[in-house]
Structure 1
Amino acid sequence: MKKLLKEYFIITIGIIIIILGFEFFFFPNNIACGGVSGLALIIHNILGTEPGIIMIICNIILFILAFVFIGGSFGIKSMYAAFGLSIILSIIEKNIKVMAITNNLVLATIFGSVLLAMGTAIMFTQNATTGGTSITAKILNKYCHIDFGKGLLISDSIVILLAIYTFGIELGLFGLLSVYLIGILVDKFIDGFNLCKQVMIFTEQEELVVNHITKDVKRGCTVFYGKGGYTQKQHCIILTILSRAQFIKLKKFMKIYDPNAFITVNETTEVLGKGFKNILE
């Protein structure tokens, strides 16, 4: 239960960040940034239909696809995110007069895209999205192995074409730019959230270092043995994968207890199994 509440709390943070992007940057400037929200903005401009109703209808269809192709967990979390987003947006539109932070289309596109990408990435780490074309992007990610951000770019292309027809070439192109930025930034944010350190330690204090990693840092490690090409001496090589906080803890320990060790560090953007992300997800 505690884990479930944490997941939905994180999803809620993502929703709030996305709302900030919509209300302060995109909606006031008629920038259709793709997705169901962009489609709803376009249809509202053409027919005057309430955007919330359009979002609900489109999301119902896409959620059916999510349950069929992705699974119930993704669908339930995304339903919470999508309808939570729609309800909060509806409340804001009816009760609060929100003013654009800037009417500069370049600034609105850049900052709105950053907020939407950040919120989307936060929810994606919890296996959820706000529905819409994010669902089709998730399907492409799962079955075609296309990066989530690139999947969004593909899915949103038709919305951008409609935006060009509805709002004109200039606003449509800003919408296209936002889709491109969001597609790139989502992958960057996801990589940042999953970032770990792959650490190789060449040491003569094998037992001391291994005990610290396994008992104090509480992370596994693998021990190799190799011979130095110059010294011709046998060395112990310890390989471990750590979070940033765990690496800082290890680095402080090595500085005090094994300052003569040789350490190499590489950043890795995805680690599966053995205490990290479930390989089946």
Structure 2
Amino acid sequence: MLKEKTGLTRDQLLAGVRFFVLLNCGLFITAVGIAIFKTPNHFAFGGTSGLSIILSTLFPHWNVGTFMWLVNAALVLVGFVFLGVRSMGWTVYSSFALSFFVSLCQKLWPMIHPLTTDTFLEMCFAVILPAVGSAIVFNIGASTGGTDIVAMILHKYTSLEIGRALMFSDLGIVLVAAYLYGAQTGLYCILGLILKSTVVDGAIESLNLRKVCTVITSHPDQVEQFIVEKLNRSATEQKAFGAYTHDERRVLVTVLTRREAAVLRNYIRITDPHAFITIVNSSEIIGKGFRSI
């Protein structure tokens, strides 16, 4: 019935709802970092938020949220001209949703002065919150808009290396911030710019972290049953021979979450104290039960 009305299965509908909720959560977390920590400290790390912070200083009658609307609107129009409407996808929504959330935060929590007197602590949150928000957005295959539109245009029309071009544009914003707000703020902006990409990558890996468990045990049937029935996971079984004893053993390989891996380890410790287990971290697991291709 659901498929007849919407053309979508229940799983597809749930996946769409999950995508939309995570997208907005990521954008809202990013907006909180911009409005509460970046703006009052003048941390212009680059991107549309950094440019908007500088513009709001040069034109104090308008706040950062207003300039983000204007800058993102201009970038969206440029994107429509050079990329077409279809190519923009969720980037258009992300650009305006982020601007809306920043304006909302500034309306609900107007920050005339920094939240604390500890500038380094403020800088940490100014990096971490947008990085975590961006990681959530990137992890579901979307973007936060803004300078991503510039990257898409450069990718389509030039052979210029996108990462380097965006780095130079961010560096230009940081240098202007250093000129406007002084050397100390400028140095914090440079530090934030360096840390930003590192924290985003780390946050994405943490979100996707899974444990690849390889188990060699004298009781493979019991362990296999525990994995399937108690953990609701599957496993791959293969035969192997010990290099020293030449005894044949069955090796089980399974991919679990951190919690599930701890449960399995504790179970095997009781079932077979002499079992051999290796647990390896992986942030890219593609397949049924995990990320789709």
The equivalent residue for 2:227 is 213
| Contact 2:216 2:249 (C-alpha < 8 Å) held by counterparts | yes
The equivalent residue for 1:18 is 30
The equivalent residue for 1:177 is 191
Which of 56, 60, 65 does residue 69 from structure 2 map onto? 56
The equivalent residue for 2:99 is 86
If the length of structure 1 is used for normalisation, what is the TM-score? 0.81
Q: CA RMSD in A?
A: 3.5
Q: Deviations 1:89-135 (Å, cap 9, x if unpaired)?
A: 22443464334212433222122111121121122222223222355
Which of 9, 12, 19 does residue 21 from structure 2 map onto? 9
| Contact 1:198 1:242 (C-alpha < 8 Å) held by counterparts | yes
User: Cα–Cα, structure 1 residues 214 and 94, in superposed 2: closer, same or farther, change >3 Å?
Assistant: closer
Cα distance in structure 1, aligned partners of 2:257 and 2:80: 32
Task: Report whether the alignment pairs 1:200 with 2:207.
Answer: no
Cα distance in structure 2, aligned partners of 1:213 and 1:114: 36
Instruction: State how 1:1-281 maps to structure 2 within 5 Å.
Output: 1-48=13-60, 50=62, 51-60=64-73, 62-63=75-76, 65=79, 75-76=89-90, 78-94=91-107, 96-98=109-111, 99-134=113-148, 153=167, 156-279=170-293
Cα distance in structure 1, aligned partners of 2:43 and 2:249: 60
The percent of aligned pairs where both chains have the same amino acid is: 31
Cα distance in structure 2, aligned partners of 1:68 and 1:235: 60
Cα distance in structure 2, aligned partners of 1:179 and 1:116: 12
Cα distance in structure 2, aligned partners of 1:234 and 1:205: 13
Q: Deviations 1:48-70 (Å, cap 9, x if unpaired)?
A: 4734454234334545659987x
Cα deviation, residue 211, structure 1: 3.0
Size of the aligned set, in residue pairs, is 274
| Contact 2:66 2:103 (C-alpha < 8 Å) held by counterparts | no
Cα distance in structure 2, aligned partners of 1:229 and 1:165: 66
One-letter amino acid of the counterpart of residue 234, structure 2: G
Q: Deviations 1:226-271 (Å, cap 9, x if unpaired)?
A: 2212222111111122121321332233233333321111111211
Cα distance in structure 2, aligned partners of 1:276 and 1:67: 38
Cα deviation, residue 74, structure 1: 7.7
User: Cα–Cα, structure 1 residues 190 and 92, in superposed 2: closer, same or farther, change >3 Å?
Assistant: closer
User: Structure 1: any 5+ residue segments left out of the alignment?
Assistant: none
If the length of structure 2 is used for normalisation, what is the TM-score? 0.78
